[in-house]
Amino acid sequence: MAKIIMKGNEAVAKAAIIAGCRYFFGYPITPQNEVPEYLSRELFAAGGTFVQAESEVAAINMVYGAGGSGARVMTSSSSPGIALKQEGIGYCVAGEVPCVIVSMMRGGPGLGTIQPSQSDYNQATRGGANGDYHIPVLAPGSVQEAVDDVKEAFEIADCYRTPVIVVADGLIGQMMEPVELENPVKTRDISPKEAWALGYGTREKQNSIENLVIDSPACEAKNIRFFKEKYSEIEENEVKYEEYMMDDAEYAFVAYGTTSRIVKNSVNELREKGYKIGLIKPRTLWPFPQVPFKNKNIKKFVVVEMSMGQMVIDVELAVGDRDKVTFYGRCGGIIPTPEECADYAEKVMGGAK
């Protein structure tokens, strides 16, 4: 199919419909409003349902019910709204309810700004719900990747029965780019709804989405099962990253999402000057890629984020040597230029070509 030009938020919404999502529950917040707006128009035509919830809290709890009923369901929001959803995300985790949450990050903390940001890396990868858990986090750096990630997110959610977060920012949400909507998705084994989902049980064997595990040994056992089975399997199967100009690299930028495309220009600029620098671009933020950081040829990993430094911690853990990791960031809705990132890297490299 030919590529078409779409705005990021609308492409995300369209991708959800293509992925079989028929239920969306959301609440207005900038810069993601075109997602609910598009779906309020298109979902009914696709035989689905859209509800503008009374709050992000209600929206995620509607997602919990619909996902618990075995339907492909999505919600989207932006930073303060994702903060409000945390309780419900925790319930989806504990109830093993598949669902997709799109987070179009803006500058914080608090009400902050509506301009793009990556300061919710920790919110997505560490989460604000209570308890021990992980959530797969996919990080697209273009409208095309956002479309591909949303489609894949539904597969991952259904396969592991977990919420999946697609974390982008206001820039990707608001930008128009050509996209191919019909890229194939890697399908995964999915457990039949009859085995677990609401509305598919019988009086002999009821299906129950359980959150209360009042008995401590059982609660501990549930946590251990999540980590030993579910999360270790996701870590094994779902890590994604890309490398650019890394074959002969002695220095590496590390950036995801919007900053990865900015830094790609910095790499080109520095390569023209003769620097052996490349880019490591994590496409999943949890599980965080480990392999590219074991590259012994790299003298310094230059992490660039639109934040005060959040992913940098994961890079330090992956590299295992904090001295080899350095950070450059802009935040509060400021988007760094390729030139300033290159200037910073040039200082780090100290003229070492």
Residues of this chain that interact with other proteins (CB under 8 A) are 23, 25, 49, 51, 53-55, 57-59, 61-71, 73, 87-88, 91, 95, 198-203, 206-212
Q: Are strands 99-105 and 73-77 parallel, antiparallel or unpaired?
A: parallel
* Single-letter residue type at 275: Y
CB 29 to other proteins: min, Å: 16
Q: Give the span between the Cα atoms of 110 and 80, in whole angstroms.
A: 7
* Single-letter residue type at 212: L
Q: Give the span between the Cα atoms of 264 and 111, in whole angstroms.
A: 31
* Single-letter residue type at 350: G
By beta-carbon proximity to other proteins, the closer residue of 22 and 106 is 22
Q: Give the span between the Cα atoms of 124 and 163, in whole angstroms.
A: 11
Cβ(164)–Cβ(157) under 8 Å?
yes
Q: Give the span between the Cα atoms of 222 and 332, in whole angstroms.
A: 39
By beta-carbon proximity to other proteins, the closer residue of 58 and 114 is 58
Coil, strand or helix at 259: helix
CB 225 to other proteins: min, Å: 18
By beta-carbon proximity to other proteins, the closer residue of 45 and 212 is 212
CB 222 to other proteins: min, Å: 13
The residue with tokens 């995801």 is 256
By beta-carbon proximity to other proteins, the closer residue of 102 and 312 is 102
By beta-carbon proximity to other proteins, the closer residue of 213 and 239 is 213
By beta-carbon proximity to other proteins, the closer residue of 40 and 49 is 49
CB 201 to other proteins: min, Å: 4
Q: Give the span between the Cα atoms of 123 and 79, in whole angstroms.
A: 9
Strand order in the sheet with 49-52: 49-52, 23-26, 73-77, 99-105, 163-169, 137-138, 284-286
The residue with tokens 């965080």 is 288
By beta-carbon proximity to other proteins, the closer residue of 23 and 160 is 23
Cβ(103)–Cβ(85) under 8 Å?
no
CB 101 to other proteins: min, Å: 14
Q: Residue 319 has which token pair?
A: 């590299």
State the first-to-last Cα distance of the chain, in angstroms, to the nearest integer.
Answer: 44
By beta-carbon proximity to other proteins, the closer residue of 69 and 268 is 69
Using CA atoms, how far residue 102 sits from 73, 220, 347, in Å, is 11, 30, 36
In the beta sheet, which residues pair with residue 325?
Answer: 301
By beta-carbon proximity to other proteins, the closer residue of 70 and 287 is 70
CB 228 to other proteins: min, Å: 23
